[in-house]
Amino acid sequence: MFAEVAREHPRCVWLDGGGGRDWSGRRSLLGWLEPSDVSLTYSASRGEVTRHVDGRAEVVGSDVFEVLAREVATGGQWFGYLGYACRADLPATPSADMPDAVWMRPSHLRLVDHDSPREDRTAPREHRNFRGVVQPRKFRSPRLTGDSAPAPAPAPAAYREAFEAVQEALHAGDTYETNLTYRITVEQPHDPAAAYLMLRSVNPAPYAGFLQHDVPGAGAWLLSSSPERFALVDDGWIETRPIKGTTPRSADPATDAEHARRLADDTKFRSENLMIVDLLRNDLSMVCEHGTVTVPDLMRVESYSSVHQLVSTVRGRLREGIGTVDALRTLFPAGSMTGAPKLRTMEIIDRVEAPPELGGPRGAYSGAFGWISADGAADLGVVIRTLTSPDRRRWTLGTGGGITVRSDVEEEYAESRWKAERLLAALDAAGGGGVAG
């Protein structure tokens, strides 16, 4: 049904439980819009939020968070993404070719609870635990041999220069950890639905999902296989699950177990994770009741099809009068995708990632993707392990990792490459295409 919806409805979304964890729920949701339904797009470079309905486009504001909060307050559920440059008060270069944000309110929603789909035009509260649907058997992963990580390649000059600039800032005390990233672009037409089905097969994840906004002048496709929670808001509580620390999986059980053990014990990984946990505790303290911010899980190893990851959980009770969208703005962008302290580190990121050899602005990458409800509930993942396109022809993915004074440039670059491998493999399997940048 998904491919048919994507073919017939220019604006649609699938929040896919394909790689769910116990914490991520057991449901999946497919939604699509009629021409009379509303969607929003945001251009950070122009400072314009545009409302799309019945083929018309009208600028309705300059702050995507303010407009989104106003629209959500009118009722219903909204689905979409916030790109890295959505906060105008923080330093981030806007996207050059794709909306910095897209949000949609579908009138059609189909909930999938394992193998029991039903359509519901009223979008009840129970859809909020949609994550975790069982994978259909017809989607098969390409066979991998040996370790999933590719053979190491030397870090290119542009990455080395950015890495050294980050090291200078670290040693100067301007930052304690910086998330250094770059973009890879594939120039090749692809059917987005086919590419997503392949991606969910080779890289299942709890924040998997598909967004299509096929609107002239505001086109956006986002294909997510993210493992990381940006924020869950439910019954007055807010929770985030930062990932910092990653090692590859191995086909050899002994080697694979050693990779997981190293992730749990390595001082560098643990210090990276702890710095982001402290940053998020600070972020949450600005919107939560005093004394309610806790860390229920600290540095838990979670294993996915291609990587082991070090994950923590930070949560707190929202203060009275703090709305969901306001809370999301305070946390945005995810501390795991900036580093600490957030403002100064984002200034460093904006400078060191500027060279065109690193692939241009982050765009949707490092942002957040999911849903927000008028009753205050929300669930969004961090936009990582994600393919984006403005036109179905130019596909971009972001990759990178946290840099500290203990980081090694070759190790960090190798990690960034094997993080990207499954996404590139999905595009290749969906129809090929060469790397352009």
pLDDT band at 111 (very low <50, low <70, confident <90, very high): confident
Q: Is 244 a catalytic residue?
A: yes
The one-letter amino acid at 117: P
Residue among 412, 429, 365, 374 nearest 184 (CA):
365
Res 23 pLDDT > 80: no
Give me the catalytic one of 244, 302, 353, 415: 244
pLDDT band at 115 (very low <50, low <70, confident <90, very high): low
Res 131 pLDDT > 70: no
Cβ neighbours around 63 below 10 Å, total: 17
Region 263-270: what's the mean pLDDT?
90
The one-letter amino acid at 64: V
Helices (H) and strands (E) in the chain, counts: 9, 23
Res 169 pLDDT > 90: yes
pLDDT band at 148 (very low <50, low <70, confident <90, very high): very low
User: φ, ψ for residue 93 (rounded to 5)?
Assistant: -75, 130
Region 342-369: what's the mean pLDDT?
97
The ranges assigned to domains in the chain are 2-432
pLDDT of 117: 37
Q: What is the mean pLDDT of the chain?
A: 88
In terms of CATH, what superfamily is 2-432? Anthranilate synthase (3.60.120.10)
As a whole-number percent, the residues of the chain with pLDDT over 90 amount to 76
The one-letter amino acid at 147: D
Q: Which of 108-122, 308-322, 342-356 has the lowest mean pLDDT?
A: 108-122
Q: Which of 125-129, 131-135, 294-298 has the lowest mean pLDDT?
A: 131-135
pLDDT of 150: 47
Query: In this structure, what token pair is assigned to residue 19?
Result: 């790689």
Q: Is 228 a catalytic residue?
A: yes
Mutual angle of helices 409-429 and 157-171, in 10-degree steps: 130
The H or E element containing residue 415 is: helix 409-429
The CA angle 325-402-303, to the nearest 5 degrees, is: 85
Res 142 pLDDT > 80: no
Q: Which of 284-288, 301-305, 360-364, 369-373 has the lowest mean pLDDT?
A: 301-305
pLDDT of 139: 26
pTM: 0.88
pLDDT band at 19 (very low <50, low <70, confident <90, very high): low
State the first-to-last Cα distance of the chain, in angstroms, to the nearest integer: 34
Query: In this structure, what token pair is assigned to residue 80?
Result: 């979409």
Res 431 pLDDT > 90: no
The 10s digit of each residue's pLDDT in 178-199 is 999 999 999 999 999 999 999 9
386 and 200 in contact (C-beta within 8 Å)? Answer: no
Res 122 pLDDT > 50: no
207 and 21 in contact (C-beta within 8 Å)? Answer: no
Region 398-411: what's the mean pLDDT?
95
Residue 280: left if φ>0, alpha if ψ -120 to 50, beta else—which one? alpha
The 10s digit of each residue's pLDDT in 247-263 is 888 889 999 999 999 99
Res 127 pLDDT > 70: no
Q: Is 49 helix (H, G, I), strand (E, B) or coil?
A: strand
Give me the catalytic one of 71, 177, 228, 421: 228
pLDDT band at 298 (very low <50, low <70, confident <90, very high): very high
Residue among 196, 193, 220, 199 nearest 8 (CA):
193
pLDDT of 26: 62
Res 143 pLDDT > 80: no
